[in-house]
Structure 1
Amino acid sequence: MSKRLVSMIAIGATALAAATLFFFKSYKPQPDLPPAAPVAAGFLHGQTVRMLIVGDPFSIALRAGARELGRRAGGSIEIEVVGYNDVRRLTLLNAQDQHSAYDIVSFDSVWAGEYGAAGVLLPLNDWIKASAATIRPDDFLEIGYRQGQFKGRQLGLPIQPHPELLWIRRDLFEKAGLAAPRTTDELLAVAKRFTQPAQGQFGICWNGQRGQALGQQMAHFYAAFGQPLLDAGGRPTLNTERGIAAARFAQSLLPFSPPDVLNMAWDQRPVRFAKGGCVMTYEWAARSYLVEEDPGSQVAGRVGYEAAPHAPGAKPVTSIGTWSLGIPANIGARRDIAWPFLAWLTGSEIERWLAQQGNGGMPRYSVMRDPALAQRYPAFQAVARLGSAGQLDDWMRPAVPQWPALADVLGSVYHDMLRGESTPEQAAARAQQQADALFTAPAK
């Protein structure tokens, strides 16, 4: 392993979010019930599989069950868990080395374009075709499976698909006689009503942190107003009336948000919500363990999971993303270990067992239909409802090679706006100018 990669691993290890680390300490996994019908038990023949994964629910499940999974596979599993930005940086750095330090890496669906264009991951198509009867691609949630593709190449298999929902304090809404907000106007009105700074209670938490966090949040706000980030020809469409309206919406949230919202990201907002600091929060469905199963949560059993509000007159849509597992292209001969392990790990029986261990982002229909799991993960009742209504989609975060840079543009320009350094109109124009430059230059 290169010195550069070792250095980055050290940085990534210390960058794990406090929320995830706290949950590792407090979470009590289910008893080690053996996975049913493991495929080719003992196929690792004493070898170790090395994984690089992000600190999300599926990593909790994998860490909780690593010893049992290793035993069943006939070897051992080494798991490196890092933060969101670090897992991408480490994967890209690893791709520059002659030999991969990892057998399996996790990737967000929005990176599929970047990884595919750069040849970071091995295409799995031939293996999947040869093992279709056991892989059962049609059992995966269609959009989750598709999000692991780039130009027809399947770069990974889904481990955790989930949408960003609006979580609400159902108990407080019922006490006030209020329905969950369906539109952005209703959300602002409800957030204002519940904001009580003297009591440390605010109406809404969201990703306001500069960079990727706010960039993704702004992409979802654009979608709420019916504005794609790219047109049909793949060109940026940020400086539009609907885009400016989305910027004004973000600005309008500030009076009803915690004072530190511009430093808030994925890990801070659910923890604040779990402590009663906000009455609503945007958050990804599979992360509901932070409020439902954390012994320190003050809101367990009192949470409602709702569709993302849309602007009046706009089509309802909730963003869905997927974490997938792929095999580094520079893995060499170890591909003969990595692929059987990946196929086994993402099979329905192991996925069901991982759900029992804490992964609420279930990627297979056969697992989602389990009544006990549906009861344990109430957020996924909302996911099923939205899916049936055709309200889950992924166009708001286009998986193009320029996506990480585009998200940084959104997360920087609009952060300046939220700090009062520009107007929504000025910010949209500046974002458009910077985004145009990204799509003029060759994708990196």
Structure 2
Amino acid sequence: MTKQLLMATVAASVVLAAAPAVAETDWDSLLGDHSGKSINMMVVNDPYIEAIRKMESKFEGLTGAEVTTDGFGYDPLHEKEILGCSQQDDQYDVLFIDGIWVGEFVEADCLEPVEDLWGDTDPSIIAWDDFVGSIAGQAQWDGKTYCLPVGAYWQVMHYRKDLFDKAGLKVPETFEETMEAAKFFTDNPDYPGMSGYAMNNRRGAAAGQQYFEWIYSAGGKPWESNYPGSEEPYADQTPLLNSEKSVELVKFFHDMVAYGPPGGEQYQWDDRFNAFAQGKVAMINAWSVRTPGLSDPDKSNIVGKWASAQMPHAKGEKTVPPVGGWIMCLNKHSKNKEAAWDFMRWFASPEIHKEWALIGGVPSRHSAFQDAEVQQKLPWTKELYTAAKTAWTEGRPRHPLTFEMIDAIGLQVNRAIIGEASPQEAMDTAQEKVTEMLKSEGILQ
């Protein structure tokens, strides 16, 4: 990734971009007639998938195309997409990929760069500067824009405001305060059945991603040149997984298990969210795609009883919110590129993006976050917007070894969490394994 691109990404992630006015577009004249054509999309089976499906008929009415959205779990989606690419499969035209997979998919020659397609599109429809910088950077690799960053996730801490108010506790800001609050609520007869904090501890990708979600707020860095604001985060990828701050963080994960729900050492994304939504834990941190469910009485027992705050940080450090989510990409092997690109630029436009956010999608644009209607319906997005503007784009690795590396780290983090190894032993092993992986691919000498 070029120095110029990264400098632009960092600047965009911390400066509030001016949101353009969202005007109605004459889609009938802009979009082509795609009658008889099918657009097939492969998407992670996260909560926003139903909102995508609700939008399909609108595009079908404009263009005559038939749109189909197929959902898969996180690991199966990665496996199916990368396998299809290797076989030059044209079954799916539009691929939603995790932003951290972009380096792998570019190297595998899977993607048609969107910047080569948008030359004849009104700039107000692409509105690139309207995308929040911390997610926009995840659609770019080696100085080129490959995808559209439509499904951004950030993390904040959700907490039971009613319980904190009753107990007279302030919302924790540091790791120490978080542990104290978690301890207070756990096994407290005044709060029967309540545990303090649910975390993403399951072995593999869940625990590996959790490590990257917290390491910067712990004052650490996963490798030598990767820290918030770094102009060249991939310049020196010497791992620092067994550094003092890294080991201290993993010890924090281990110690927090005592204040989590039964079986919490094996929790992953849905488990921690469901525990909070069911009223079993006082605090979680969670990707924003699941947050709307907390206000849905069909999914949540705590409607109106919760609030959001920034994730905690180590004493003397500052919060660096995690960023993740999904970028929408054009399969290089698609036979329906014209129709697929029409769908992509329509769906990602500020006007349609706002509609999607209001029916269960995830805001990724400044204009959506700043929209009065969005703010009224989704008041928690105010806290999320603060996180979005201060997140670090390179908070998780995005090179071709990403998927394998996160899984390897997650194995060792979980070993420490469940007591198979001490935090130091586990992270020494992670350091050794990841170093071997990077050297085998020529990333480290």
Smaller-chain TM-score range? 0.7 to 0.9
Normalised to the residue count of structure 1, the TM-score between the two structures is: 0.87
1:128 corresponds to: 118
State the partner residue of 2:365.
Answer: 364
Match of 1:5 in 2: none
Q: C-alpha separation between the residues in 1 aligned to 2:63 and 2:178?
A: 48
Please give the per-residue CA displacement for 1:411-432, whole angstroms capped at 9, x wherever unaligned: 1012112221111111111110
1:219 is displaced (CA, Å) by 1.6
Residue 329 of structure 2, aligned match among 326, 342, 356: 326
| Structure 1 counterpart of 2:285 | 282
Distance apart, 1:42 and its partner CA = 5.7
Aligned residue type for 1:177: G
Unaligned runs of 5+ in 2: 1-23, 226-235
Q: Distance in 2 between matches of 1:368 and 1:220?
A: 22
In structure 2, the CA distance between the partners of 1:208 and 1:243, relative to structure 1 (3 Å rule), is: same
8 Å contact kept, 1:173–1:179: yes
Instruction: Give yes or no for contact 1:53–1:59 (8 Å, CA) kept in 2.
Output: yes
Shift of 1:151: 0.5
How many angstroms apart in 2 are the aligned matches of 1:152 and 1:58? Answer: 29
Could you tell me which residue of structure 2 aligns to residue 382 of structure 1?
383
Name the CA distance, whole Å, in 2 between partners of 1:309 and 1:43.
51
Q: Does 1:46 align with 2:36?
A: yes
- Shift in CA distance, 69/337, structure 1 to aligned 2, threshold 3 Å: closer
Instruction: Establish whether residue 227 from structure 1 lines up as the match of residue 220 from structure 2.
Output: yes
Partner of residue 140, structure 2: 149
1:81 pairs with 2:80: no
Is 1:251 aligned with 2:254?
yes
Q: What amino acid is aligned across from residue 74 of structure 1 in structure 2?
A: G
SS at match of 1:323: strand
Against the structure 1 CA distance between its residues 92 and 428, is the aligned structure 2 distance closer, same or farther, given a 3 Å change threshold?
Answer: same
Name whichever of 40-49 and 237-246 sits farther off. 40-49
- In structure 2, relative to structure 1, the CA distance for the partners of 1:98 and 1:394 (3 Å cut) is closer
TM-fit CA distance, 1:386: 3.5
Quick one: which of 61, 64, 85 aligns to 1:71?
Answer: 61
Aligned length: 406
Query: How much does 1:312 deviate?
Result: 0.4
Q: Which amino acid aligns with 1:442?
A: E
Q: Which residue of 1 aligns with 2:439?
A: 440
256-265 vs 423-432, which deviates more?
256-265
Q: Compared with structure 1, are the counterparts of its residues 443 and 372 closer, same or farther at alpha carbon in structure 2 (3 Å cutoff)?
A: farther
Distance of aligned partners of 1:387 and 1:268 in 2 relative to their CA distance in 1, 3 Å threshold: closer
Q: Deviations over 1:212-265 (max 9, x none)?
A: 011000122322212111212122111100011011110110100112112211
Partner of 1:349: 351
How much does 1:36 deviate? 6.6
Q: Deviations over 1:338-382 (max 9, x none)?
A: 2122111111121112122211x2122222222121122223100
* Native 8 Å contact 1:42 1:75 kept in 2: no
Q: Which of 292, 295, 304 matches 1:292?
A: 295
Deviations 1:69-127 (A, max 9, x none): 32233222111011111111111011022332101010111111211222221112221
- 1:318 aligns to what SS in structure 2? coil
**Is the contact made by 2:43 and 2:49 (CA closer than 8 Å) also made in structure 1?**
yes
Residue 418 of structure 1 corresponds to: 417
CA spacing shift, 1:305–1:230, aligned 2, 3 Å: same
Normalised to the residue count of structure 2, the TM-score between the two structures is 0.87
Unaligned runs of 5+ residues in structure 1 are: 1-34
Residue 336 of structure 1 is matched in structure 2 by 338
Please say if residues 219 and 317 of structure 2, whose CA atoms lie closer than 8 Å, have aligned partners that are also in contact.
yes
Alpha carbons of structure 1 residues 161 and 205: separation in structure 2 relative to 1, 3 Å: same
Contact 1:162 1:322 in 2 (8 A): yes
User: Which whole-Å CA distance do the structure 1 matches of 2:200 and 2:218 have between them?
Assistant: 18
CA contact (8 A) 1:141 1:365 kept: yes
Q: Match for residue 164 of structure 1? A: 155
Q: 1:312 to 1:285 in 2, by over 3 A?
A: same
In structure 2, the partner of 1:302 is: 305
Comparing 321-330 with 431-440, which one deviates more in the overlay? 321-330
**1:242 aligns to 2:224 (yes or no):** no
Query: Which residue type is aligned with residue 308 of structure 1?
Result: M
In structure 2, what is the Cα distance between the partners aligned to 1:386 and 1:296?
A: 25
Counterpart in 2 of 1:99?
A: 89
Which residue of 2 is the match for residue 60 of structure 1? 50
Structure-2 change in CA distance of 1:386 and 1:99 (3 Å): closer
Give the secondary-structure state (helix, strand or coil) at the position aligned to 1:87: helix
1:368 partner amino acid: F
State the 1:385 CA deviation.
Answer: 2.7
Distance 1:326 1:294 in 2: 34
Amino acid in structure 2 at the alignment position of 1:337: A
1:406, distance to aligned residue in structure 2 (A):
1.4
SS in 1 for 2:201: coil
- Select between 111-120 and 66-75 the one with higher mean Cα deviation: 66-75
Say whether the 8 Å CA contact 2:137–2:393 is kept in structure 1.
Answer: no
Secondary structure of the equivalent of 2:376? Answer: helix
> What SS does the aligned partner of 1:224 have?
coil
Q: Report what 1:194 is aligned to.
A: 185
Contact 1:53 1:80 in 2 (8 A): yes
The answer to whether structure 1 residue 402 and structure 2 residue 401 are counterparts is yes
Q: 1-side partners of 2:299 and 2:120: how far apart?
A: 47
Identity of aligned residues (%): 26
Query: Which of residues 263, 266, 269 in structure 2 aligns to 1:263?
Result: 266
Aligned CA RMSD, in angstroms, stands at: 1.9
